Chain A
Amino acid sequence: MKTIAVEETVVKRKLTFGQWMNTDTVAGYVFALPFIVGFLAMMAVPMLLSFYYSFTDFNMLTSPTFIGFDNYVRMWNDMRFRNSVSVTFRFVFFSVPVRLVFGLMLAYVLTRKTKGVHFYRSIYYLPTLIGGSIAVALVWGQLFQNQGVINVMLGAFGLDGVNWFGNPNNALWPLIFMSVWQFGSSMIIFAAGLKDIPETYYEAAEIDGANKWRIFFSITIPCLTPIILYNLVMQTIAAFMTFTQAFIITGGGPADSTNFLALYIYNHAFNWFNMGYASAMSWVLLTMVGVSTAFIMWTSKKWTFYANE
């Protein structure tokens, strides 16, 4: 290795432009250039700016005025902000685990080697595929109306209809259901993970006389823990960002009961042009996501199992 390095330094002086371009360092940076430029222009600079704006009063029409920690103090006293943090956490707390449980269950059910599994998986993936579209959000709002399909169905089972959007205690649920409904991508990832569990593990367990449930909990689940961790982290991050559903379906109401932090930030930034305050809140959102992820990672040491280690 060393000799090669020496040779390289010797050769370096006589490099033509073409050869220079072909060196590892130059070519590496040339190919990585889109990301480097993008990272600086679309990530690093905006983040620094956003951090600066979070200490200013800025409405876009006049230049930002530095106001120290005022935005952060304001947040502390802002009931709507505190409420939106709590709404966001409630949403994450209910939607993410249920979504993962559904995803795992169906992935497990659909690994059976029977006819039509591929087709079934596509059917179950369909809601996820189109779930992000406005079309579905608009339809979802209609489903949960007072005289909507859901209440008509409840009536068919002899149950009272629920006033979904007219009661602050209920309004979050249609949004949680919608999120749970879209368990498809975690299902697919789980399914791929299930395929990777060596047959020998199962065979060994069957020889030991373990029943299906035992095998599921003592072989399948532990082997899947790294994937559970991955899904948990990615889905949690995504859930914190939830915006479109609330924006389209409830507009944050009634009585702010679905006013997600992302929606509240949007309103401050783009409806009321409080760019400074909105920036400060977005940093709090970033911190919330970061802390939650770190917390999951920290606990994961106790429950994830890596076969190779």
Chain B
Amino acid sequence: MEVKKKQKWNMRRNWPLHILILPAVIVALFFQYAPMGGLIMAFQDYKPWLGFFQSEWIGFEHFHTIMQTDHARRVILNTLIISVLKLIFGLIVPIAIALLLNEVYHNVFKRTVQTVIYLPYFLSWVILGGILLDLLSPEGGLFNQFIGIFGVEPIFFLGDNTWFVPTVIITDLWKETGFNTIVFLAAITAVNPNLYEAAHIDGANRWKQTLYITLPAMMPIIIVVGTLSLGNILNAGFDQIFNLYNPLVYKTGDIIDTYVYRRALIDGDFSFGTAVGLFKSVISFFLIVLGYRLAYKYANWRIF
């Protein structure tokens, strides 16, 4: 009797909570969950005029095609190469810069450098792409003019399969380093100064202190950033690649997302594009979950 009464009261008191959550649920149903349902078209020969319900079912045919298409396999490989390189450099470079910034005792200088290297993070890849196209142009772009001083012939960085991937990695660092540097720097600032004092008395020099105090103190956040980026292994950076690439570099620079875009929305091959996208989403799902679990296990980090 007592329990029943309490439950009833709870229901009456909580109905506004359901009302408040409802609009967000409806929007998510339409724009997040309905597209998940739309993934069934990966198993169909989808025709826009027939829709999801009338189009012919063809099972795993598109997936067989992916495995048999040279370029599709190439695209998966390109994606892995680019994203793994980004992951590695995207971790090492900001850690190194954060450690160097930590040795700066002049606060104005330190803050200025931080702020300046953080700038590109706030600009879109359309803007950065526009700037890079101009800067790296083989016809008198500033960078080619600069290396010309040393007698190097102009290089078509964005149109040459040898140079495209390194250019993508370096320009990605340009955009992202500032943000990650500040994240790592925050972890360094949290280190107890007494530890350094004690190490100093014990005769440890600055390098030893960095190695045995600062780096271990940064480990949890390094693990979090590293494991969470696992989920991005199949995201080689659509915005960046799309604004930098061109048909000349499809061999090394075409990635899953750009391939899906061209096959589906340019060529109109909706089902095939969706099949490639589904392949990506399923693997990414497991990687994201794995990343969260590792972050929790090794760094006690939880998103919610």
Partners in one complex: no
